[in-house]
Chains A and B, each alone.
Chain A
């Protein structure tokens, strides 16, 4: 039918067979493109490293897209004080921490240690009964495109066990220009109230071939503000799934709401990504949007963390939610064979497009229509049902290809018994309702 056209097309192709091919130039182009991608890939591994013990945490990362920037007049006025604007930039999206600053609850510390051209300075901290946020500056005499932080450990000066629950910090700072100074923060939350006010912070800093271990002693002098605790015991049902909010505890750094699921639910409730505190005026405090947003006590009981309204005294306070991430209980985990680099089981919808192994990391790619920045897994078990303690994980942001890459470090990966199961702690599928629970 189209023989003539088909013939013309294959003739056209043949004209390319006899072309002079600039092989050298093609090879150069291949290498240039490859190196450009490689450089960028490395840079994109933004790795907020997170260490967690007993409590499995749900994490969320601010991507390029998170645009929850508040601009209270206060932030602007504070920003005009030299040295403060960079600190404020770190917490601009967290009303609770901003308010701690505003109420003079931030404590200036200014303790430094210098080693071979690298200087680590603790600028200041905010502490409450349960948590400690440290603001620090890293200064480098030499220019490094990338500086990494690892082996972060907070200890009490008297050697007493702090019973660390979770800590999170940015692990990699990259700057094309080799920026000589970076201001960052790290957060520590304990499982039991902090008894001491004297601490030692240990950190290893790597810049280029250099590596230095820092150990800084510091002290919190301000009075620690006591938590405010509200007993709730209120139950709600969303799409047939029942849950009871047992209590709300408001600390200066964050608000913690405990919720218990009905064991008879057909679905496993995961991350509450749409929950907020609202006062009688309609003012809203959202969930934590960068860091640890929830922790599981058991698969059926979890603590949700919201931005704190500690320094306010609202007449009424409500917990409001519209949707909750949920999957059928039978589908609440992803099972992989690390040796064959295969996904054996995943929830309906096949959002995980690939899994491969890189060193001791399992790297997952998953596809979502909109940016989905929360970390997906909590408890990890091997083929014998033994728990594997993963000490770190990282995420590469969602991009126009709709893919997000996430890595989970599995110590001693090659010797682990397959298949490896990863419990979901977050997943892009929701049940919806409109609920309002009175706290006070």
Chain B
């Protein structure tokens, strides 16, 4: 990450070219994160657009270049969480679409569904940890809380995920 640091610093300082360069570095992480939360490619692209908009307006407030990626991913997760809230009432219809649509990986669909049923904090921590492969200390910094707290929440999230998977299990497991 440190090799990107000067680019990040220039972007924070208002350099447009550096900003766009930075987004090239993180675009795949952002895209995949959005896809993990949202229903399809179209929504994921819309998310990218919105996150660019939010990031550009706020990048000057990033205080530590080393956490720029975390910062960006969190903007994405926040956006996705908002979208999920808006969609809540459609969730049940969409499940069927998801089953047919996304992939041959049956487990993936089931897992995604379980993640969507978690609370926002659990969803965020699982995404940061397992999807974006962030370290506990990075998450602790982003959330401005002790690492111990992150670990507790992570455990809670995993426990909840297990419950959701189990409660779903009956109907869908092969």
Contacts and interface: CB of A to CB of B under 8 A. Distances in A.
- Whether A associates with B in a native complex is yes
Interface of A: 1-2, 4-6, 8-13, 15-16, 19, 21-22, 25-34, 36-38, 40-41, 341, 353-354, 356-358, 363, 365, 401, 403, 405
A68 B48 CA distance: 39
B162 A5 contact: yes
B50 interface: yes
B14 A363 contact: yes
Given A2-B158, A8-B107, A356 B12 contact: yes
B73 interface: no
Given A15-B105, A34-B20, A358-B14, A2 B162 contact: yes
Interface stretch (B52-60, B82-90, B91-99, B142-150): B52-60
A19 B32 CA distance: 9
A9 B108 contact: no
24 contacts: A1-B155, A2-B155, A11-B107, A12-B112, A12-B131, A13-B131, A21-B31, A26-B48, A29-B48, A30-B24, A30-B27, A30-B48, A30-B52, A33-B53, A33-B55, A37-B55, A40-B57, A41-B57, A354-B61, A357-B13, A358-B13, A358-B14, A401-B58, A405-B60
B141 to A, nearest CB: 16
B48 A33 contact: yes
A11 B52 contact: no
Nearest to B26: A30
A32 B55 CA distance: 13
Given A9-B126, A38-B16, A33 B162 contact: no
Given A9-B126, A41-B57, A33 B50 contact: yes
Given A2-B159, A41-B56, A341-B13, A29 B45 contact: yes
A403 B12 CA distance: 15
A40 B108 CA distance: 39
Contacts of B41: 22, 25
A200 to B, nearest CB: 38
Tell me whether chain B's interface is mostly helix, strand or loop, or mixed: helix
A4 to B, nearest CB: 8
Contacts of B108: 11-12, 15
Given A8-B111, A15-B108, A29-B52, A356 B13 contact: yes
A40 B50 CA distance: 13
B49 interface: yes
The 6 A-B residue pairs with the shortest CB-CB distance in the complex, in nearest-first order: A33-B52, A37-B56, A9-B130, A2-B158, A29-B48, A33-B49
B136 to A, nearest CB: 14
A301 to B, nearest CB: 36
A11 B111 CA distance: 10
Contact of B56 (A13, A34, A403): A34
Interface of B: 12-14, 16, 19-20, 23-24, 27-28, 31-32, 35-36, 41, 45-46, 48-58, 60-63, 103, 105, 107-108, 111-112, 126, 130-131, 155, 158-159, 161-162, 165
A21 B44 CA distance: 11
A219 to B, nearest CB: 46
A34 B52 contact: yes
Contacts, number: 125
Contacts of A29: 45-46, 48-49, 52
Contacts of A401: 58, 61
B62 to A, nearest CB: 8
Given A34-B19, A36-B49, A401-B61, 4 more contacts: A21-B31, A26-B31, A29-B49, A38-B56
Contacts of A37: 52-57
Contacts of B49: 29-30, 32-33, 36
Contacts of B36: 12-13, 16
Nearest to A11: B107
B69 to A, nearest CB: 15
Contacts of A16: 32, 35-36
Contacts of A31: 20, 52
A36 B56 CA distance: 9
B52 A353 contact: no
Nearest to A8: B111
A10 B50 CA distance: 27
Contacts of B12: 354, 356
B105 to A, nearest CB: 5
A6 to B, nearest CB: 7
Contacts of A8: 107, 111, 165
Contacts of A27: 27
Contacts of A9: 111, 126, 130-131, 161
Contacts of B131: 9, 12-13
